[in-house]
Amino acid sequence: MPEETTAARVLDIRAIQAAIPHRYPFLLVDHVEVVEEDKIAVGTKCVTVNEPFFAGHFPGHPVMPGVLIIEAMAQTACAMVLSKPDFAGKLAYFMGLEGVKFRAPVFPGSVLKLRLQALRIGRAGKFIGKAFVNDKLVAEAELTFALVDRGA
């Protein structure tokens, strides 16, 4: 008998917005696929020239700011975690970043794939994040966050 596989849980933009509080112009992930529950999520960000940050970064040579690539990683991880009923009503606050490396620039027209692997999920979470464009590693980081009540 073939081994049973579990389908990935997919978060479209409405599900992402239900899970995390970010909105335009700071919502930086368009789609999240939870490949393995509580372990691996893959986010997608379609980078367009219409992004507001390109007006100043850099005029005539638009490059996505590295800190926003890291933020897109964090939003992917948070969408996976905060979309679960156990964590409804929580917010995730950045607590730390380690091993941040930017390997290549990201330009308008790119499709950014954000692969997040959970090392720990709970009141404090830790993820390893990697960002790719066309299967080429463009950024990586280890992200740590704390979960708090939205009203706190």
Per-residue pLDDT of the chain (152 residues; tens, 9 = 90+): 444 456 799 999 999 999 999 999 999 999 999 999 999 999 999 999 999 999 999 999 999 999 999 999 999 999 999 999 999 889 999 999 999 999 999 999 999 999 999 999 999 999 999 999 999 999 999 999 999 998 86
Tokens of 39: 């372990």
> Rounded distance, CA 129 to CA 117, Å?
6
Domain ranges of the chain: 9-149
Per the residue annotation, which of 22, 31, 57, 61 is the catalytic one?
57
pLDDT per residue as tens digits for the range 50-89: 999 999 999 999 999 999 999 999 999 999 999 999 998 8
> Rounded distance, CA 55 to CA 50, Å?
9
Helix (H, G, I), strand (E, B) or coil at 146: strand
Q: Does the active-site annotation cover 61?
A: no
Task: Yes or no: say if 98 and 139 are a contact pair by the CB < 8 Å rule.
Answer: no
The topology under which CATH files domain 9-149 is Thiol Ester Dehydrase; Chain A (3.10.129)
Tokens of 34: 């939870």
